[in-house]
Chains A and B, each alone.
Chain A
Amino acid sequence: MDLLIDYVTLIGFGPTGWGWQLARATFLTISVSACAYLAGLVFGTLGAWGKLSASRAAHGVTDAYTTIIRGVPDLLVIYLFYFGGSTVMTKLGQMFGASGFWGLNGFMVGVLAVGVVSGAYQTEVLRGAFLAIPKGEIEAARAVGMGRLLMLRRIIGPRVLRFGLPGMGNVWQQVLKESALISVTGLAEIMRQIHIGAGSTHQPFDFYVTGFLLYLALTTVSGQLFRWAEGWTLVPERRAA
């Protein structure tokens, strides 16, 4: 019982508790993951477009993109953006007359790196979803005279969502867990914050278990949200009651 009280005090919102820091870290994890996920959606859409396009060049570029990302550790991609980004930024700064060292902050590195990584997986998901659309539906859209953009918005978009959402949910889970790697840039998201807490209180187990529970809660709740969304995309296919 004492153990439990000690633990609640440790992670609570009292004067000696870490509650506020942990809440802020959780918020950071969610926001950096969400932004990275959106970036990944953009990269993934471009990637899927490239893989489906008739252009050899676009094909080659997107194939290289997904092959490299899926074969190289995510940590290295983060290092590339973290260290490489600052080199590029410093050079850019010098070009515009600024002096000294410029860097990308952890948040931007995280969004870019995790976005690029998840974009490669998203590419495959979206490509698969597009290929799952029955050819007849696209033909029918053409037959009624839809233009490309209209078709994309009214027919292809909703259908890709219908077939791709389960895979997109998996990519989100991956992003959420990968966001822990951004802690190496010093960004105080959950992983970094509990590491700091563990170090300064000498109660590492309590902190890591807290982090464990926080991530479990995030993956469970967001997984449920994706399942609801999936059910919602299936509504037109459900039999009338």
Chain B
Amino acid sequence: MNLAVAVTDLRKSFGRNEVLKGVSLAAREGEVISIIGASGSGKSTLLRCIPMLEVPDGGEVAIAGETIRMRERHGRREPADAAQVNRIRGELGFVFQTFNLWAHMTVLQNVIEAPVHVQKRPRAECVAEARDILEKVGLGEKLDAYPAHLSGGQQQRAAIARALAMRPKALLFDEPTSALDPELVGEVLRVMRALAAEGRTMLIVTHEMGFAAEVSTRAVFLADGRIEEEGPPAQVFGDPLTERCRQFVGRHLNR
């Protein structure tokens, strides 16, 4: 069985606040895992630890079987090999809550930036591929637009295209619709639904319970820095085993 992403016993504190208290999670190829939980439960931190945007204080991260090597320095853990981290980041597509498109580049330039300069693939090939991807996310007409000229939904779709252009082994979504006006959420979810249907490996931190129940192959409920409940969406969203999960889902599904 091929594990696209595997984290083992992940721990992370911010100052005295212990956000992750030993979380293990593995995603097989083609799995779509939704990660839910109250704010402050550590779900975003968990996702951000995977490409080392946050450096975990303990535990391991492995992408496609390759473990990110860590070391101790001045009493703090850090990745041992920056080049390895950068290469692995290139194998993951990360989608941020606030899109984080590069403001000085057009949509097309945003999408081909990392393939050309990080993965050093031929520009012509990257441009051709970027056009296809942008067409797929519905931005075929917006190649030369600057981010500031796009709606939030369009920006997020461009950001998803940017992540796809890296030919990632897994896609990580960090609350991708939380910063959007309600009427723009649908267009982003539609793109994500299509990606799930393609069989891509996805880890999604989200508050969109209905969407999560529908697309994910597995759901994980995080509370107080630990995995409180984990299972098929039918169980986690429909008939949770734990009381906390039942309360959380009950509160959110009714909205």
The answer to A–B direct touch (Cβ < 8 A) is: no
